[in-house]
Structure 1
Amino acid sequence: MAIFEYPGAYNLDKNILDVVEAEKRTNDIQGLCKMMESFHNTNNTTKELECADALNALMQTILAEYKKS
């Protein structure tokens, strides 16, 4: 049976989607941190700052979404 055929399945389905979204966000954050470290290690300050700005924007988006819920 499909997940939506069970009572309360909407909440379960929503929770699964929330976990998937959280995993994507975690991967995005980890990727940006790794890129920042790489640019730092090669003294590419411009790219390092671009990654920092992108990471800051992502974190601000996550914070705004958290405050809405």
Structure 2
Amino acid sequence: MRLRLCFGAGFVRLEVIDPGTRTSAPCFEPPRTASMEEAGRSLGIVAGLSARCGTDLIRGGLRVVRADLAVV
């Protein structure tokens, strides 16, 4: 796993690069469940805290998940 931090006009981009999954894009929607399970909530939290977020497959089959955080 690698972590990359980038800076742009009015935002900071945080990227996490790891093997991830090749089959489908991760879901940024929080699970719609009343349970107290902790699994599956992290990308929903990322989406809620960031101005923009997304994911891509990059060379070598790695996945990058990015979140742009607004600078105030």
Give me the TM-score of the superposition, normalised by structure 1.
0.25
Larger radius of gyration: 1
Q: Which has the higher strand share?
A: 2
Give me the TM-score of the superposition, normalised by structure 2.
0.24
- Which structure has more relative contact order (CA 8 Å, sep 6+)? It is 2
Q: Which has the higher helix share?
A: 1
